[in-house]
Structure formats: C-alpha cells, structure tokens
Structure 1
Amino acid sequence: MNRYTTLKQLGDGTYGSVLMGKSNESGELVAIKRMKRKFYSWEECMNLREVKSLKKLSHANVVKLKEVIRENDHLYFVFEYMKENLYQLMKDRNKLFPESVIRNIVYQILQGLSFIHKHGFFHRDMKPENLLCMGPELVKIADFGLAREIRSRPPYTDYVSTRWYRAPEVLLRSSSYSSPIDVWAVGCIMAELYTLRPLFPGTSEVDEIFKICQVLGTVKKTDWPEGYQLASAMNFRFPQCVPTDLRTLIPNASSEAVALMKDMLQWDPKKRPTAVQVLRYPYFQVGQVLGPPAQHPEQHKPPVRTAQPADLRPLSLCRSDQQSKADQAQSRTRHQPLQQIPLPQQSSGRNGPDPDTDSVTFVKLPIVFPFILLGNFVTAAVQGK
C-alpha cells in the first residue's frame, strides 16, 4: 500500500472502510476499500463475489477494480475514482432532466447490465446509489457484493436489494429469481430519473407491494399464477387496486418511454424483456448519439493486480466524516415519493433492520465510490449469501 497516499476517509461501515487515495506513481485518484475482516489466505480473498465477478467484467459502463492487495492479513480493493452516484446527481437537481439526458443515462445502465448478464452474472442490488457517475454523461454500475452467477443453483436468499427497487418475486420471497430482477430495478430507476422521486417508496415489504399495486393495478391470477402461489405460501392477499396511468404520474415522459417502463415493470418476470431486448426498443432509436462521451473511451483493462508485500504497515485510516450519515438521512427524508396515499403500514414479519433499505445496505453517503462504498455500497460481500 506504500504506492498510494491516502487523502481522506470517506466512510466507515460494518464490513469495511473507504478512503480516497492517490497513486504515488501516476497521481491518479482512486477509491480504496479496506475490509475489516482479516483474510489469512489468497483463496479466501479470491472467493469473494466482488472479486470473482469483477475479474471477468471489463466494460465502459462497469466500474473498474484496478488492484487487489493483501497486506498483513488486511484486504484492500483499489477502484477507479468516480465523482458521485446517481442518487446524489438527482438529489442535487433543481429542475427535471431533459429526456435526452435520461435516455443516455438509461442506455448506459442497460449497456453495462446486458454485458453483466451476458457474462453470466446478475447484480441483485441495482439502485441509484450503486450507479456511479461523472456527471450525467458517464454512468457505471458498481457494488457487486450481492452479485450471483445466473447458472448458480437456487435457492437464493430473498433478503436482497434495496426495497424501493425490489422486484415483486423477491418481495414475495421467491428463491429462484434471476436476471429479470435487475430489469425491474432499471424500470424503477428510469421512472425516478423523470420525476426525481421514487416510484414505489414502500416503508416495509408489505407496503412496497401495496405501492406497486397502486401504480400497476392488482395482478390477475391468470397473468401471474406463480405470484399467487408465492403470496399464498406467505399468507398474503393482493390488495384490490385499479392501475394508475404512468402518463399521469410521469407527464414529462414520451409515449416511447412509458411503453418501455411498462414492459420493464411487468409483474411476471418471464414477461419482462431482457436488457439486450430493451436496448432495441423504439425509445432508443431516435438518432441521438448514446453512450459514454468521447473523452471517456473504455481503455484496455489490464489484469487485476494482486500484491502481497511481506512487511508493510497497513494503510492508516483518516478521520471519518461524522456528519455524512445524518446529512444523507436528512436528504433522503426530503426525497419525497410521487404519491402520498395512506397505506397499511404492516410489517412483513421479517426480523432485522427495516429502514428504506433492509439488511444488505447501511448508510447513504453523500459521495460514493466504486462498489464498496459503505453505506449503501458495502453490501454483504463477505457473507456467503
């Protein structure tokens, strides 16, 4: 770690600390994640999902893991520097994004997601905080701590992802979900980009389903029999709601945008288009130049380096910003939902923390760096879920 100078600590969470650093050789800014758990062998390190997935993923819209270092039994991830995340970008806006900007953001998210799915992984925690930005022009998917291989065998844990972006099959505790849960989340994010307000801001898992029903309408048993089986298994009855036209909720979206969001937000995961199919929708066929700006071409990615010096002192941690958690909590409170309709505020009966994100995420930081950021960025990467 003597190749890097630490500039400041950005956050501290259950599983690790994140620091902003600078390469002594090149002067390049980086984000460094120092895991709190000790690792006594390289085999332990290489089995982490973050490492296993990112070693295989090199794309302009996927954040880069530059280096993995184990030193004195401490594990460090070195990531490329990104200025902010999509949540921060939306929170700081004082006016709505033009549709051309939204189209380019969504296009880049889907380009990265289709690449991830093509290479056999699904993300499981797609949300604005895990989409890193250099302004609205460049967007990259981050935080692969919950990623799973598509070919891996169920059952999977149902206790994943941030609630507001959680697909119905996960809310209903399916154990055999797959990549369509990421497409659902992108649909939620796209709607939020238009309104700067979350589409389904549930206060619990049950309330989340109520919010979805209020927008999409109650799903018919013939349209999603598997969903009714899942609901029956957990003694849940769908509330009877009529759908709300997305054009009413998102009046600044074009008809092509509304059509795309409707398809991504299908109750039945089998009816959602894949990320590759979404990219072929008329919404993107408008003659607009889409993708990362010319000044940010994807460079050839060298192999992830691993280093294990013998007797170097571990990276010292700087004083953390004690206000970050409180400030972000306050800003999220100001991030009001689209609708203020009184709903049953039942608990799902699940144990564990239940804020606007559940147990897999912790604190929202005002600035986020590659998928490790400890807030809503340090996920259960070290857990064997």
Structure 2
Amino acid sequence: MDERGKVLVVMEFLPSDLSRLIAARKVPFFAPQLKIMMCQILDGVRFLHDNGVMHRDLKLANILTNKGNRLKICDFGLSRWENGSGSYTPGMVTQWYRAPEILMGETNYTSAVDMWSVGCIMAELVLRKVLFPGNSGIQQLSLIHSSSAARCKRCDVLLRLCLVQPDLICCSAFLPWIPTAGSLPTMPSNTLGFLSYEHNTLYIFLLE
C-alpha cells in the first residue's frame, strides 16, 4: 500500500499474450498445444467463478504467456463480484467476445458471459482468426445468428427490425427472442458446421 492508501499489486512479468502469439505464428497449433492452453484458460476462469468473480473482458490480448507456454489471465479493470440481484453495467466485454444478451443491452446476466468469451477464444485459437468480427453490435448479432444452430424465425425478424431501427437493440422487450449465453442448450457436435471439416474435427477433439 502506498502513501495515498492505494493497494499496488506486483506480478511477475510475462512478455507476450495470445493475440501476439497467433499473429507471429505461421502454422496452426497442434491439438495437444491447444488442449494445454484451453485447460489453463478454463482452470483460471473456473477459479474466478468459484470465488464469485466475473472477468467480463476475456480475450486473447488479456491472456498473457511466456516461453514455457504458461498462461495467465490479466486486466481485471471490468471485473465485478457476482451479486445477488444479478444486475450489472451493460455493454461490457470487447465486442467480438461479447455474449448475445450483452449485445442486446441486458443488465441482468451471469458468469455465463465469460464462458461465451472462452468459446470465442477457443475458436480463434483453432481458426487463427476472430470467430465473429462484427463492426457493430447489430452486425455482431447477425454473425452469431447466422452461425448458430439456435436460429429461429423470431430472431430473423428481430435482426431485420434492428437493421431498420437500431434503437431496438437496447429494447428489453426483444431480449426473450434471442438465445443467450446462459440459455443455449447443449448442442450435438455436428452443429459446428460453420467451421471447415478439418477445424470442426479438431474443435470436437478439444471439446472432448
């Protein structure tokens, strides 16, 4: 604690992060490498959630690494303790890793939003490119919707309305119309059809 009463946390130096690692890498990761990385990420996220902490900004740039491929989650500037009311600030999480409910302006969400981000990270490690690179909240929802096995006619109508009237994206009346990170059902492996066969097979291997 310094003279102003602020707590300073000194942590070990890690020279890089996963976004830089992918940018510098010219060949895909091998499956064992991906499994080791994902196990470390999931262990870290589980520790946070077991202790009542939502990170709310998980992305490749916030996962540090060293030459020994040891990973550590960083940047807790947007993290919050889970509270009983479940009401939090809207618009959290970097857009490409943002769960559908947050994209829709929802303020009542759970730590499931972190797991959505973890899924996006996992896909990015496999594909070596962003899974849903939307330029806006509406486009982000559209990319998620077009790739999702949970497509429905009501979601199609909602997205068309949002394209005409963007203000609707923050209208809570439409929230029940779109699947959220906390409500998506368990899906069979063949729903990963938006990946190539090679990536689909690797993704299933990692999930198993």
TM-score w.r.t. the length of structure 1 is 0.43
Map of 1:190 onto structure 2? 122
- Residue 160 (structure 1) aligned with residue 92 (structure 2): yes
How far did 1:151 drift? 3.0
Classify the secondary structure of the residue corresponding to 2:87: coil
- Residue 141 (structure 1) aligned with residue 73 (structure 2): yes
Summarize the Cα distance change of 1:114–1:74 in structure 2 as closer, same or farther, 3 Å threshold.
closer
> Is 2:105–2:172's contact at 8 Å kept on the other side of the alignment?
no
- Which deviations, in whole Å up to 9, do the C-alpha atoms of 1:131-190 show, x marking residues without a partner? 111147211111111111223433211121100000001111111111100111011000
**Could you tell me which amino acid in structure 1 is paired with residue 172 of structure 2?**
A
Summarize the Cα distance change of 1:110–1:73 in structure 2 as closer, same or farther, 3 Å threshold.
closer
How far did 1:78 drift? 2.0
What is the aligned counterpart of 2:197 among 251, 261, 267?
A: 251
Distance 2:84 2:78 in 1: 13
- Of the structure 1 ranges 81-90 and 144-153, higher mean CA displacement relative to structure 2 is found in 144-153
**Could you tell me which amino acid in structure 2 is paired with residue 112 of structure 1?**
G
Distance 2:48 2:135 in 1: 30
- Which deviations, in whole Å up to 9, do the C-alpha atoms of 1:189-221 show, x marking residues without a partner? 000001110000010111100111121156338
> Is 2:87–2:108's contact at 8 Å kept on the other side of the alignment?
yes
> Is 2:56–2:92's contact at 8 Å kept on the other side of the alignment?
yes
How far did 1:114 drift? 0.7
Map of 1:376 onto structure 2? none
Map of 1:233 onto structure 2? 172
What is the aligned counterpart of 1:210 among 142, 147, 151?
A: 142
| Structure with the bigger percentage of strand | 1
Distance 1:138 1:207 in 2: 34
Map of 2:110 onto structure 1? 178
**Could you tell me which amino acid in structure 1 is paired with residue 128 of structure 2?**
L
> Is 1:215–1:245's contact at 8 Å kept on the other side of the alignment?
no
**Could you tell me which amino acid in structure 2 is paired with residue 89 of structure 1?**
L
- Which deviations, in whole Å up to 9, do the C-alpha atoms of 1:89-135 show, x marking residues without a partner? 11111111111111111111001111111111111111001111114
Q: CA RMSD in A?
A: 3.1
**Could you tell me which amino acid in structure 2 is paired with residue 174 of structure 1?**
E
List gaps (5 residues or longer) in structure 1: 1-68, 224-229, 239-243, 261-280, 284-385
| Structure with the bigger percentage of helix | 2
> Is 2:192–2:200's contact at 8 Å kept on the other side of the alignment?
no
Summarize the Cα distance change of 1:151–1:259 in structure 2 as closer, same or farther, 3 Å threshold.
farther
Classify the secondary structure of the residue corresponding to 1:79: coil
> Larger radius of gyration, structure 1 or 2?
1
* Higher RCO by CA contacts (8 Å cutoff, separation 6 or greater): 1
**Could you tell me which amino acid in structure 2 is paired with residue 253 of structure 1?**
H
List gaps (5 residues or longer) in structure 2: 156-168, 179-189
Map of 1:84 onto structure 2? 16
Q: Percent identity?
A: 32
- Of the structure 1 ranges 198-207 and 134-143, higher mean CA displacement relative to structure 2 is found in 134-143
- Which deviations, in whole Å up to 9, do the C-alpha atoms of 1:267-321 show, x marking residues without a partner? xxxxxxxxxxxxxx6x2xxxxxxxxxxxxxxxxxxxxxxxxxxxxxxxxxxxxxx
Map of 2:58 onto structure 1? 126
> Is 1:195–1:250's contact at 8 Å kept on the other side of the alignment?
no
Map of 2:159 onto structure 1? none
> Is 1:172–1:234's contact at 8 Å kept on the other side of the alignment?
no
- Of the structure 1 ranges 126-135 and 160-169, higher mean CA displacement relative to structure 2 is found in 126-135
Classify the secondary structure of the residue corresponding to 2:11: strand
**Could you tell me which amino acid in structure 1 is paired with residue 107 of structure 2?**
S
